[in-house]
């Protein structure tokens, strides 16, 4: 087995938002390490010409899938190939096509067989400051890309006024209170920005969400579970079914819960249709809560859904 896990950075964002610019900057930032790029582009245009820093890196292309599920299978096959390389890379960068559902990509990394070798360091969402509001209203994938991201780069910031940048930052934070939002130009990112966004659990510990927020039809709902103890089996089955049935509404779930069968607090998170519930090693007084991000959600509906995870078998303190 590969001794150290391979870091994975997933780049999402709408067409022309600046993903390739961000990728080039990242390749410069990580130039001292061995990097590999996976592209998921529409069409068959060559990507090599766009990437300035690809001296040693190898580029894999995913061609078949975009929004469909074959994308996950294709990525899985590429990842297997990477683990069998004589000298595997330190970092794998995945640039998702502007039309891709990043959940389908990110969810591959929830599988145990993949997690054994790879660790998603961060999911970066690149947003075009000029076009963001139009995109969000008109393109469903744009909302999903925002929901999945840990770090959202508000790119082309210099093309709009400072006040507008602040207003957009607020809007984006309201949609995804879990992410860091940073204005950039020409996709300029630093390692420090990535490292900050990738300490996800630490970030969650200090997370203070607004009650509930709305923009367009997208919304984040904060659920306080301080006095609730879930039944693991029930919670898992309720969420698994809901992520499948309400795929077009629930974009992301993330937070902590208490379980009747375990002492430790558990981190719950969904990526695409995949769910993971894992123990938190150091809780340091963390209170249980969950954030649900999605489209057309109602607090009542979401509360009802989670109640199925603790009523009867579970205990309400």
Ligand X SMILES: Nc1nc2c(ncn2[C@@H]2O[C@H](COP(=O)(O)OP(=O)(O)OP(=O)(O)O)[C@@H](O)[C@H]2O)c(=O)[nH]1
Binding residues for ligand X, rule: CB under 6 A, are: 13, 15-21, 98, 155-156, 159, 185-187
The string of DSSP letters for 186-253 reads TT---HHHHHHHH-HHHHHHT----SEEEETTEEEEEEE-TTEEE-HHHHHHHHHHHHHHTTTTEEEE
Residue 133, Cα to own-chain centre: how many angstroms?
Answer: 20
- Taking the least distance from each CB to ligand X, the nearer of 13 and 65 is 13
State the nearest-atom distance from the C-beta of 11 to ligand X, in Å: 8
State the nearest-atom distance from the C-beta of 18 to ligand X, in Å: 4
State the nearest-atom distance from the C-beta of 176 to ligand X, in Å: 19
- Taking the least distance from each CB to ligand X, the nearer of 15 and 277 is 15
- Taking the least distance from each CB to ligand X, the nearer of 65 and 187 is 187
β-pair partners for 271: 252, 274
State the nearest-atom distance from the C-beta of 136 to ligand X, in Å: 16
CA atoms within 13 A on the CB side of 16: 5
State the nearest-atom distance from the C-beta of 17 to ligand X, in Å: 4
- Taking the least distance from each CB to ligand X, the nearer of 119 and 133 is 133
Output the six-digit token pair for 278.
Answer: 């894992």
- Taking the least distance from each CB to ligand X, the nearer of 71 and 302 is 71
Surface-to-core class of residue 284, CB atoms within 10 Å of its CB (0-12 exposed, 13-18 middle, 19+ buried): exposed
> Pairing state of beta strands 35-39 and 228-230?
unpaired
Q: Are 176 and 149 in contact (CB under 8 A)?
A: yes
Q: How far, in Å, are 32, 126, 133, 223 from residue 277 at the CA level?
A: 35, 28, 34, 17
- Taking the least distance from each CB to ligand X, the nearer of 20 and 107 is 20
Q: How far, in Å, are 111, 124, 151, 189, 261 from residue 181 at the CA level?
A: 28, 10, 6, 12, 37
- Taking the least distance from each CB to ligand X, the nearer of 15 and 307 is 15
State the nearest-atom distance from the C-beta of 22 to ligand X, in Å: 7
State the nearest-atom distance from the C-beta of 167 to ligand X, in Å: 18
Q: Which of 180, 186, 154 is nearest to 167 (CA)?
A: 154
């Amino acid at each position: 087995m590969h001794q150290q896990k391979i870091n994975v950075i997933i780049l999402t964002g709408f067409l022309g938002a600046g993903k390739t610019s961000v990728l080039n900057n990242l390749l410069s930032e990580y130039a001292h390490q061995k990097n590999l790029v996976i592209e998921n582009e529409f069409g068959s245009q060559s990507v090599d010409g766009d990437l300035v820093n690809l001296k040693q890196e190898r580029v894999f292309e995913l061609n078949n899938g975009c929004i469909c599920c074959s994308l996950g299978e294709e990525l899985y096959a590429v990842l297997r190939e990477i683990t069998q390389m004589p000298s595997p890379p330190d970092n794998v960068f995945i640039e998702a096509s502007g039309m891709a559902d990043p959940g389908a990509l990110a969810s591959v990394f929830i599988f145990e067989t993949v997690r054994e070798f790879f660790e998603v360091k961060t999911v970066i969402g690149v947003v075009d400051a000029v076009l963001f509001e139009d995109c969000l209203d008109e393109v469903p994938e744009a909302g999903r890309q925002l929901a999945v991201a840990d770090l959202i780069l508000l790119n082309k910031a210099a093309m709009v006024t400072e006040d507008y940048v602040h207003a957009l930052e607020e809007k984006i934070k309201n949609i995804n209170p879990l992410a860091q939002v940073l204005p950039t130009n020409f996709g300029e990112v630093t390692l420090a920005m990535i490292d900050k966004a990738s300490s996800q659990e630490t970030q969650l510990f200090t997370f203070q969400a607004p009650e509930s927020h709305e923009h367009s039809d997208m919304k984040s709902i904060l659920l306080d579970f301080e006095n609730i103890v879930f039944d693991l089996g029930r919670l898992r089955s309720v969420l698994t079914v809901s992520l499948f049935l309400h795929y077009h509404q629930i974009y992301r779930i993330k937070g902590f819960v208490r379980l009747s069968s375990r002492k430790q607090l558990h981190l719950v998170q969904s990526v695409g249709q995949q769910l993971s519930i894992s123990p938190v090693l150091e809780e340091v007084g963390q209170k249980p809560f969950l954030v649900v991000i999605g489209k057309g959600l109602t607090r009542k509906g979401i509360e009802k859904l989670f109640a199925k995870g603790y009523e009867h078998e579970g205990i309400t303190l």
